[in-house]
Amino acid sequence: MAIAKTKVTVPDFSLSPRIDQVGVEERASRFTKRSIKKETKLNGLKLVLNMIDLTTLEGKDTDGKVRQLCYKAMHPHDSIPGIPTVAAVCVYPSMVKVAKKALEGSGIKVASVATAFPSGQAPKDIKIRDTKFAVNEGADEVDMVISRGKFHAGEYNFVFDEISAIKEACGNARLKVILETGELGTFDKVRRASDIAMYAGADFIKTSTGKIQPAATMPVTLVMLEAIRDFYYKTGKMIGMKPAGGISKSKLALHYLVMVKEVLGEDWLNNEWFRFGASSLANDVLMQIAKEKTGLYQSANYFSID
């Protein structure tokens, strides 16, 4: 049932809901105990693959490496029929043009990190220029990091205004806001940061850069999913979710899908509204799909190294 849109009133973020840590951890653990039957498992694995953002974010990235990753994004495994592509390829702004050309006509999105990724330690004008450069190079999506120092100092309006400015700089590109939950410390702070990002204009909220441990966890993702649900009930606006880092096995990814379905519903079970930031997950998913189709595991040597 559709929720009627209402005027969005920005709340006092210091009054964000308190989170029951024990309750969240117990509920998250229950999602890992669901049994998934064979046909449902195969469909789920294909869905997981289609939700992955293949990523290369290294100082040693070259044009050739990015092109190779784009080829894998379009052709995850040529010998298995009916395999979907991944959702996006995520690169630094300087590599956006290379990825855009390599993916031309594929329908796969080009995402770019920006805003002094991964630290976020740069003046706002530099972050805005970084964002505009990525978009002008052809980025369909921008993954920004929040200023965690300002957040921990209680300067919530600063964080809100910065996200709003980056959203404006994105133009038509979708904005994923990375909270870096491993540096936030508590579920209460994860919820508060989620609320700030959504009210400031995020199209997605994302757990992590993948550079800090712990990265994505099911309890943290559950807190963020519940924030998205509450925001939707208040505003009628859907927000996407992207757990990133630490998800390398298909079984765990399927548990995440179960959680998304039970918390947000089937409308979120597509790559328009849910993504995995987990390049290493792709090969495990391909191995599991091959096992479901043939009954045999393939060696990891049959799969390209990202």
Which listed residue (127, 132, 176, 206) is catalytic? 206
Distances (CA, A) of 109 to 28, 55, 272: 30, 12, 11
Closest CA to 288 of 14, 32, 46: 46
Residue 143 is a catalytic residue:
yes
What's 297's DSSP letter?
P
First to last CA, the chain: 41
Residue 161 is a catalytic residue:
no
- For 295: left if phi > 0, alpha if psi spans -120 to 50, otherwise beta; the answer is left
CB atoms within 10 A of CB 114: 28
Asked if 116 contacts 142 with a C-beta cutoff of 8 angstroms, the reply is: no
Which listed residue (100, 127, 176, 242) is catalytic? 242
**CA angle at 110 for the pair 105 and 274, rounded to the nearest 5°:** 105
Task: Spell out the residues 6+ positions from residue 200 whose beta carbon is closer than 8 angstroms to its own.
Answer: 159, 160, 161, 163, 164, 167, 177
Dist. CA 173–CA 187, nearest whole Å: 29
Indicate the burial class of 206 (C-beta count within 10 angstroms; 0-12, 13-18, 19 or more).
buried
Helix (H) or strand (E) holding 110: strand 109-113
Which listed residue (130, 143, 203, 284) is catalytic? 143
Residues involved in catalysis: 143, 206, 242
